[in-house]
Homo-oligomer: A and B are copies of this chain.
Amino acid sequence: MDESELIRRYFAPLGAKRSDVSLGIGDDAALLAVPVGCELVMTTDVLVEGVHFLPGAPARSLGHRALAVNLSDIAAMGASPSWMLLSLILPQAQEGWLAEFCAGLAPLAERHAVALVGGNLSRGPLSITVELAGLVPAGQALRRAGASPGEALYVSGTPGDAAAGRRLAHDTGAQAHAAAGQATEGADPPSQDADRSALVARFEYPTPRVALGAALRGLASACIDVSDGLYIDAGRMLGASGCAARIDTALLPISQPLCAFAAQAGWSAEYTQQLVLSGGEDYELCFCAAPERESALHALAATLGERITRIGAVTAGAGVCLTSSNPASAPLLEGATFDHFGR
């Protein structure tokens, strides 16, 4: 099966149908109608085997993640995603792999009304590049720059889950390899198994906060998506804003599965906090807002069914400082880093 047949079978049917696509897959380029009053938003991100994922990672998860990481960038701008290009470099055209990849990518594209309008398939070492374009009312995009001292610092969701899930997915992969050649080992208790699955799912199928990002326009003063870790990415946003921040580690949201699994697995509180602050791959939004927005933000989060947590305050100066309002738990040292996979 050659490139054009693979595209016809797997990629041409993929994604949302949009009336603003004048010409999609199959010509030298796509033609797209940008509404008057909107700015175009463009981003790209890549997943490379051996760097962003291990050999043998499930193709369905890769299909989901390749789009999710780009949706998260669009969300951080307060924009709505529209059109994607997909460049897939594959060692060989395995139809089973392609079908699984598309089964991961297609539902996410449809859920966010993203049309696949072009791309290419090439032979080579496995990597997946998605370029995603979106739209935002002109002049209303969220940026990293814009925060001011006195504002509050927020994060969506529960960072740390994905980093824990990544570790567990890799451990599980190693265990599976080991089990294939050795005696079967004792299984985890069922509750730990459910927590483990929940955490692995947060890594393999991250949820980009697209609706939340769009709803933050006019409320947030600055926004960034958390891909490299909350501590690092908050620092980038505040650096771009010319401000500093204090994160209160006692306020960091920690999910029930992460709490429970960490307790059962004997992970230290320090290690769990490192996952939350520096684990990365969260694809949550970190943003700043004036204190008087607090109730509007919580009403918004409730409407959208999203969790947002005030984790600190924007201050004058530079850098992100960790403090704790709970005297029993000292924060990590400022600038502590974690064994960050792949960047």
Q: Which residues of A contact B (CB under 8 A)?
A: 3, 22-23, 26-34, 36, 38-46, 48-52, 72-74, 76-77, 79, 83, 85, 87, 89, 117-120, 122-125, 127, 129, 131, 133-134, 136, 138, 141, 143-145, 223-225, 240, 343
Contacts and interface: CB of A to CB of B under 8 A. Distances in A.
A235 to B, nearest CB: 12
B118 A29 contact: no
A50 B123 CA distance: 9
A144 to B, nearest CB: 5
Contacts of A51: 122-124
A231 to B, nearest CB: 16
Contacts of A225: 28
* From A50, A76, A77, residue with most partner B Cβ within 10 Å: A77
B87 A50 contact: no
Contacts of A31: 39-41, 77, 136, 141
B39 A134 contact: no
Given A51-B123, A144-B28, A87 B33 contact: no
Given A125-B124, A136-B31, A118 B42 contact: yes
Given A34-B34, A48-B89, A43 B28 contact: yes
Given A26-B240, A41-B31, A74-B29, A49 B118 contact: no
30 contacts: A3-B343, A23-B141, A26-B144, A27-B143, A27-B144, A28-B72, A28-B223, A28-B225, A29-B42, A29-B43, A29-B76, A29-B77, A29-B134, A30-B43, A32-B42, A34-B38, A34-B40, A40-B40, A42-B118, A42-B133, A43-B118, A44-B85, A44-B87, A44-B119, A49-B124, A85-B131, A124-B125, A125-B125, A125-B127, A129-B129
